Amino acid sequence: MKQSVLAALRQGKQPLSGTALGKQLGVSRAAVWKCVHELRRQGYVIDSSPRKGYTLVSSPDLLLPEEIRRVLATRSFGKRIICRDECTSTQDIAAELARGGEPEGLVVIADTQTRGRGRKGRSWISTPGAGICLSIILRPGLKPSQIAQIPLVAGVAAARAIRAVTGLKPDIKWPNDILVGGKKVAGILTEMSCEIDHINHVILGIGINVNTLKSDLPESIRDIATSLCAECGHNISRVALVQRFLNELESLYRSYQADGFVSIRQEWKSLSNTIGSQVEITDGGKRLTGEVLDIDGDGFLLLKTDAGSIERIVAGDVVKPS
Ligand code: BTN
């Protein structure tokens, strides 16, 4: 009922009286008032003038399924959205549902996580009400060896969404850190369940520092991380960013499925802050230094090492020596 009242207020160009709303929805004026009260409690600003009625003035930036779905232009991504105020990790919820047979496109979003994780066993810290913690189930029908391409597709979708919603110009540090002004604003994590020759499902997770204050970032990462709000100087709508990310992700993922990684390789290269740079790459105990030449058709980094060999790098952490 609350959603119907909200939808009616959104459509109404004029203020709507409690009686008119009640008539339209087949409920009493008192029931309408209760819904308006509940919506206001959630943060919707609803004006009420004695003779005219209710007007929706503004909506809160709450990561609610109904808010996110409102302008989603996707076929399957986000058709089902589960939102939690708090959870251990959205990856865990999505993985459990995927194991139970949930189809591709289910999205799990949390306002904050108590055990958010990043790549290589690192943790991902999020401030309640300020960030985006999102996981989506994918069933790409790929071989496990192709998994490294999925976060590259997601990186381009994230960069496009951030650029469109904030006007900032993000770039990508291979494999999938999204940076603004050289500092990390978002990270992508890909976890999969697979057989020897077949991926059952992928849980693609993204964390974005949206309206996080610099002082809320852990001290240990303040020099290397930032938030969109800190870079823009004003708050950014998390709802708009999630919508745009899901729209971009689905469209890039469909092109990727139809034509392979080559279909987005050029765009990824144009966003890369890594190609052409002198870098140090570590992966476990392995350490290589050299110049990044390119990214190949499989999404692997081509490094010309200081020793003169050309290495294809599948995974690792890239650092540009200062
Ligand atoms: C990284 O930069 O190392 C990747 C960070 C990924 C964080 C996101 S937040 C949503 C999802 N749930 C998690 O626990 N991790 C990912």
- Summarised one tens digit per residue, pLDDT across range 183-239 is 999 999 999 999 989 999 999 999 999 999 999 998 989 999 999 999 999 999 999
- Ligand 1 atom 2 nearest Cα: 187
Nearest to 213 by CA among 114, 90, 118, 128: 128
For residue 124, the CA-to-ligand 1 centroid distance in Å is: 6
- What's residue 149's pLDDT? 92
For residue 133, the CA-to-ligand 1 centroid distance in Å is: 7
Write the DSSP assignment of 41-96 as a string of letters: HHT-EEEEETTTEEEEEE------HHHHHTT---SSTTSSEEEEEEES-HHHHHHH
For residue 180, the CA-to-ligand 1 centroid distance in Å is: 18
- What's residue 5's pLDDT? 87
- What's residue 128's pLDDT? 92
Say what angle helices 149-166 and 262-271 make with each other, to 10 degrees: 50
- What's residue 71's pLDDT? 85
Q: Residue with structure tokens 């989506």?
A: 136
- What's residue 203's pLDDT? 98
CA pair distance 115, 125, nearest whole angstrom: 8
- Which of 117, 152, 176 has most ligand 1 atoms within 8 Å of its beta carbon, as the pocket-test mutant? 117
- What's residue 8's pLDDT? 87
- What's residue 7's pLDDT? 85
- What's residue 20's pLDDT? 86
Low-confidence stretches of the chain (pLDDT < 50) are none
Ligand 1 site residues (CB inside 6 A) read 89-91, 113, 116-119, 122, 124, 133-135, 177, 187-189, 205-207
How many residues make up the chain in this entry?
322
Q: Residue with structure tokens 């890594």?
A: 274
Amino acid 8 reads A
Greatest Cα pair distance, the chain, in angstroms, is 81
State the closest ligand 1 atom to the C-alpha of 119, by its place in the atom list counted from 1: 3
- Ligand 1 atom 3 nearest Cα: 118
- What's residue 271's pLDDT? 96
For residue 87, the CA-to-ligand 1 centroid distance in Å is: 13
Nearest to 136 by CA among 80, 179, 88: 80
Judge contact between 176 and 188, C-beta under 8 A: yes
Residue 139: CB partners within 8 Å, gap ≥ 6? 103, 104, 199, 200, 201, 202
CA pair distance 261, 258, nearest whole angstrom: 9
State the closest ligand 1 atom to the C-alpha of 176, by its place in the atom list counted from 1: 2
